[in-house]
Amino acid sequence: MKAYRASLLYFSPTAEPHHAGLYEDDGLLVVGVNAQGREVVQAVGAYGDLKARFAQVPITHWPGRIIAPGFVDLHSHYPQTNVMGSPADGLLPWLEHYTFPEEKRFAAPEYCVEAARFFIAELLRNGVTTALTFSTSHVCSVDALFHEAKARQLRLITGLCLMDRHAPADLLNQKAVSGHADATEQSLLDSEALIARWHGVDRLGYAITPRFAPTSTDAQLRGAGELAAKYPQVWIQSHVAENQAEVAWSRSLFPGSSSYLATYADFGLMRQRAIYAHCIHLSDSDRALMRDTGAAAAVCPTSNLFLGSGSFDYAGADRAGFRYGLANDVGGGTSFSPFHTMLGAYYVGREGHSKAGLSLSPQHLWWQHTVGAAKALGLDGTVGNLQPGCEADFVVLNPQATPLLTRKTAIATSLDELLFSMIVLGDDRLVERTVISQNL
């Protein structure tokens, strides 16, 4: 066992509102090892309350620092680091002019390895310890990312990007050179082989990954849905209702479905552990479908602001009662930093659907990037919090990381003020270290 003494931020599993934060000015985080040999939280609370019980445990003391749960990111594209900051009129031209050309480069295994290394290092530097991310349509891109995540012991979920139409020919899923299966069948065989190779290895998980309905044929979506039924523990990830032109395109390609979102349900792709990025242009019946199927939304504020896609409707989501959490959506997104993503979410709430705008509380913003995102993945109680039993992934924040942060956090008189200072003024400099639960 080992223990860490510092200020502590975490969340109660029972408090109401459900996203209320708990804060210990002088706290103790005790880490033990579970039956599988994985480091997990043993106890958390005030140093004064716990010190006698754990008197024999060696303590690392970080005065002036804040320990908080590692961030959970629900949606990004590891092959799009180089696409960040590429302007376009909107989603579809951005895909065509910047994203597809970059993703083609992942046909080369060595390119995948370098990009995977950079991406994972950047997540960790920014305090992200669990990530659901897209790879490309090349099997080697998936293998490279899983290899790197395994080496760094990151909790990572990814999958082969399924696209068998409406993208450049050399980016569509390919036939095997010597095989009999057509490209669509091959993409499903490859996905199943990748599930066998990676899902459940250490902390890795597989996600069945149709890019979005317009770039898959009916046959590919049907096959993806069959895989999702066969492997209920595997995740599903895709995009939906990000942009009006995309919505219109999808509706024209799948006229038999009652909405763009319903297309996924019609192919068996909405269930628990299905994460849909964006979910902006939804109707109330779509929101009810999200809730009833147990699917969850990855809210991508910096991407939505950058590409002019629209605003996630927080009030609508809460009214319907479906799950959601935050995501950086690199490379439509403009930052790897969870602080920038939380600030983007605040702007989206302010400018969003309700007439007066919402002022999302900093505790709610932080919850969306930790416990809320973990719940969306079906991993609450495992990651995203520092409750006993959670994997011991955490960040150590330095509220004196910059002169402005030092000045502003020093005058905070409440938890909300402290958290808002960090959300508004923070970035990677705030994250002094990221600690990953080890498998001993």
* Binding partner selected for residue 405 from Zn ion, ligand GUN, none, CB under the kind-specific 5 to 8 Å limit: none
In angstroms, the CA 30 to CA 44 distance is: 6
Q: How far apart are CA 183 and CA 172, in angstroms?
A: 8
Beta carbons within 10 angstroms of residue 233's beta carbon: 12
- The answer to the question of residue 277 lying near Zn ion (CB under 5 A) is yes
Q: Which stretch binds Zn ion (CB under 5 A): 55-63, 184-192, 270-278, 337-345?
A: 270-278
Q: Which stretch binds Zn ion (CB under 5 A): 39-47, 216-224, 228-236, 269-277?
A: 269-277
Fill in the per-residue mask, 319 to 358: x = in contact with ligand GUN (CB under 6 A), - = not in contact: ----------x--x--------------------------
Residue 298 DSSP code: E
Q: How far is CA 238 from CA 10, 126, 167, 368, 408, in A?
A: 30, 24, 16, 19, 39
Q: Taking CB under 6 A as the rule, which mask of x and - marks residues 284-323 in contact with ligand GUN?
A: -------------------x--------------------
Residue 281 per-residue DSSP state: S
Question: What's the rounded Cα separation, in Å, for the pair 202 and 407?
Answer: 42
Compute the least distance from the CB of residue 138 to ligand GUN, in Å. 15
Closest by CA position to 264, among listed 244, 234, 243, 294: 294
Q: Which does 342 bind (CB under 5 to 8 A by kind): Zn ion, ligand GUN, none?
A: none
The answer to whether 407 touches 421, Cβ cutoff 8 Å, is: no
* 77 belongs to the binding site for ligand GUN (CB under 6 A): yes
**By the rule CB under 6 A, 21 interacts with ligand GUN:** no
Q: Of 91, 132, 295, 299, which one interacts with ligand GUN (CB under 6 A)?
A: 91
Integer Cα distance of 12 and 20 in angstroms: 7
Q: Which is nearer to ligand GUN, 62 or 249 (CB)?
A: 249
User: Positive or negative, the Cα torsion across 347, 349, 355, 361?
Assistant: negative
Cα 422 from chain centroid (whole Å): 20
Give the DSSP letter of residue 68.
E
**Max alpha carbon distance in the chain (Å)?**
68
Question: Considering the rule CB under 6 A, would residue 242 count as an interface residue with ligand GUN?
Answer: yes
Judge if the upstream peptide bond of residue 349 is cis by omega within 30 degrees of 0. no
* Nearer residue to ligand GUN within complex by CB, 313 or 329: 329
User: Which residue from 40, 10, 25, 123 is spatially nearest to 370, judged by alpha carbons?
Assistant: 10
| Residue 239 within binding range of ligand GUN, rule CB under 6 A | yes
Residues that contact ligand GUN, how many (by CB under 6 A): 11
Cβ nearer to ligand GUN, comparing 21 with 210: 210
Residue whose Cβ sits closest to Zn ion: 277
Please give the single-letter amino acid code of residue 310. Answer: G
Residue 356's Cα: distance from chain center in Å? 29
Considering only residues 376 to 395 of the shown chain, the ones binding Zn ion according to CB under 5 A are none
- Establish if 330 lies at the interface with Zn ion (CB under 5 A): no
- Closest among 313, 382, 303 to 336, alpha carbons compared: 303
At residue 301's C-alpha, the angle toward residues 295 and 307, to 5°, is 110
Query: Interface with Zn ion includes 74 (CB under 5 A)?
Result: no
C-beta closer to ligand GUN: residue 19 or 77: 77
Contact stretch for ligand GUN (CB under 6 A) within 91-99, 260-268, 284-292, 310-318: 91-99
Phi and psi at residue 21, to the nearest 5°:
-85, 155
Q: Which is nearer to ligand GUN, 250 or 337 (CB)?
A: 250
Residue 281 near ligand GUN by CB under 6 A: no
* Strand stretches in 289-393, DSSP E: 296-299, 323-326
At closest approach, how far in Å is the CB of 234 from ligand GUN?
20
The 8-class DSSP code of residue 77 comes to: B
Residue 347: its H or E element: helix 338-351
Q: Work out what residue 211 binds among Zn ion, ligand GUN, none; the CB cut-off runs from 5 to 8 Å by kind.
A: ligand GUN
Using CB under 6 A as the binding rule, whether residue 212 contacts ligand GUN is answered as yes
The entry of ligand GUN, Zn ion, none near residue 99 (CB within 5 to 8 angstroms by kind) is ligand GUN
Toward ligand GUN, which CB reaches closer, 153 or 334? 334
Least gap, CB of 134 to Zn ion (angstroms): 6
265 belongs to the binding site for Zn ion (CB under 5 A): no
Alpha carbon distance 260, 91 (integer Å) = 16
Q: What is the DSSP letter of 96?
A: I
Q: Which is nearer to Zn ion, 275 or 425 (CB)?
A: 275
Please say which residue, 277 or 326, places its beta carbon nearer to Zn ion: 277
Contact footprint for ligand GUN (CB under 6 A): 77, 91, 95, 99, 211-212, 239, 242, 303, 329, 332
Binding site for Zn ion (CB under 5 A): 277
